[in-house]
Amino acid sequence: MKYRLHNLFHPATIRGRMRILTITFTVLAAVILTAAMSLLVMYNSLYEGLLYNVTTASEFNQDFKENIDLKMYYYVIESQYSEGLPIDEVVAAQDLARALLDTTTQKDSRRAITSVLDLCENLEEKIYQIEDTKSYDERQLQLENNIYVLTALIEEFMYTYLYCEAVQLNVLQNQIARQIFTEFLFITALTGALIFLFTQRTVRLSRSITKPILDLCARVEDIGSGKLSVRKPIQSSEYEIRTLSEGFEQMVGRLNRQIQENNQKQDSLRRTELALIQAQINPHFLYNTMDTIIWLIEAEKTQEAVEMVSNLSSFFRHSLSRGQDVITLREEKCHVCSYLQIQQVRYKDIMQYTVNIAPEIEDAVLPKLTLQPLVENALYHGIKLKRGMGHIYVTGRAQGQDILLQVTDDGVGMPPEQIEQLVQSMEGTKRIGFGLSTVHERIRLFFGPPYGLSLSSQAGVGTTISIIIPRRVGEEEKI
């Protein structure tokens, strides 16, 4: 929401520039249309006013003279058709003349309608004069010399008014036509200019967007092809594209660091794995085992010798594990059993063992050579240093979503200070117990914290090493 409010009209954003561009051209177009419509309304009003004046004057002049003359003639001769003096018609003519004068702007037309108004007033006086005259002959004389002359003049000046207004109407009509044509050309030119500017701005905006986007696409292709070196972000006037490019480069930087960390972890993992394998191919262990086999053969214990050779073969086969980094708990169990069976032949007087791993977790995976180094430590640093028979217990069970593996011996145990040194060596760089530290590091590399080793021991009682790993099945390839 903050981004949208901030960038709604910001000129550095695509949305802001588009909105500003659209609003600018919309306002300009609205101003042009408003001005054109205002002129058209003004001319239309003038035209309608002139047309109304012409129409009204024409209707007035159509029968004014004949009507006044006829009514005055009937009045003078005292005809039975007489309706009295036509004062109302003259007053109506005066009102019409005043109304036309208010709406007339052309000079000649105003002079003509003013004359009509003056003549109507004079006509009204002459009508009243006839009313006051008693002599028939004098009335006839006034009718011919005054009334007929004034109505003729009124008719003539009204015709003059009609002519002037018609001329003005024609002029205005031509002026409107020219003005409309001029406005049409002006609006067409201005619209063309606006379209040109709008197109130019749109093309410029399009280029400012498409070119950086093409650069971003090329950058994404480089990243997809493995070119993960961090580069300078793409320079663009658009805020969104700059943000996107900076985000890409930050992502590449994080990806680079993650790859380097993974490579370092893999290198460390390979080194520790190689060290463990080399530790398993221990010359002393191999010599002693071969000596034991020779002794069994010389003692004509052929079956025991065959079993020992089979166990030795199984031991080394599981140590190599076909080059895989992780194996199932079932395979790790077989590896430990092979080692314990070999060692029990040599140390049958001092060592017994029990392997008890729950069947339901045997399909779980873990780094190879996890249990055997711990069993070896239990034998050489716990059982062998104890007088009398000792016992090694290897157990495994589910613990929620994790698996708990334990190697326990009832050997000599360790004092608290030695335990503290071993714990510090597992978490630091200084190695004291090679097997413990290496196994702990490999589990952390594979699964991450909080997985790994923990130990508890009591002098004269024994030692327990616990391993916590996640319960994952069939994920050798993924890990």
DSSP codes joined into one string, 323-352: G-SEEEHHHHHHHHHHHHHHHHHHSTTTEE
Q: How far apart are CA 403 and CA 367, in angstroms?
A: 13
Q: What is the pLDDT of residue 470?
A: 93
CATH 3.30.565.10 fits 281-470, yes or no: yes
Q: What is the pLDDT of residue 1?
A: 44
- Closest Cα partner for 347 from 380, 314, 319, 323? 380
Residue 85 scores a pLDDT above 60 = yes
Q: Taking all residues of the chain, what is their mean pLDDT, rounded to a whole number?
A: 78
Q: How far apart are CA 403 and CA 361, in angstroms?
A: 8
Strand-by-strand arrangement of the 452-458 sheet: 351-357, 390-399, 402-409, 462-470, 452-458
Q: What is the pLDDT of residue 430?
A: 57
Q: Which of 262-271, 390-399, 442-451 has the weakest average pLDDT?
A: 262-271
| Segment 116-137 mean pLDDT | 87
Better-scored residue on pLDDT, 478 or 302: 302
CATH 1.20.120 fits 2-207, yes or no: yes
Intervals of CATH 1.20.120 along the chain: 2-207
Q: Which amino acid is present at 198? A: F
How far CA 364 is from CA of 31, 358, 471, in Å, comes to 77, 11, 6
Task: For residue 453, give the DSSP letter.
Answer: E
| Segment 429-458 mean pLDDT | 79
pLDDT in tens, 293-345: 776 787 777 777 777 787 777 776 766 655 577 889 999 899 899 889 888 88
**CA 59 distance to own-chain centroid:** 72
Q: What is the pLDDT of residue 13?
A: 64
Residue 404 scores a pLDDT above 60 = yes
Residue 278 scores a pLDDT above 50 = no
Q: Can you read off the two tokens belonging to residue 223?
A: 């990243």
Better-scored residue on pLDDT, 32 or 416: 416
| Segment 364-375 mean pLDDT | 88
- Closest Cα partner for 215 from 187, 189, 240, 235? 235
pLDDT above 90 as % of the chain: 12
Q: What is the pLDDT of residue 364?
A: 92
Better-scored residue on pLDDT, 465 or 345: 465
Element (H, E) at 408: strand 402-409
Intervals of CATH 3.30.565.10 along the chain: 281-470
pLDDT in tens, 30-75: 777 787 777 777 766 766 766 767 777 677 766 788 888 888 888 8
Q: What is the pLDDT of residue 93?
A: 83
How far CA 78 is from CA of 69, 143, 145, in Å, comes to 14, 13, 19
- In sequence order, what E strands does 95-210 have? none
- Closest Cα partner for 456 from 418, 425, 428, 402? 418
Better-scored residue on pLDDT, 410 or 161: 410
| Segment 104-115 mean pLDDT | 86
Q: How far apart are CA 274 and CA 269, in angstroms?
A: 8
Interstrand relation of 351-357 and 390-399 (parallel, antiparallel or unpaired): parallel
Residue 467 scores a pLDDT above 90 = yes
Q: Which of 83-92, 183-192, 354-363 has the weakest average pLDDT?
A: 183-192
Better-scored residue on pLDDT, 450 or 229: 450
Residue 251 scores a pLDDT above 50 = yes
- Closest Cα partner for 54 from 148, 167, 149, 151? 167
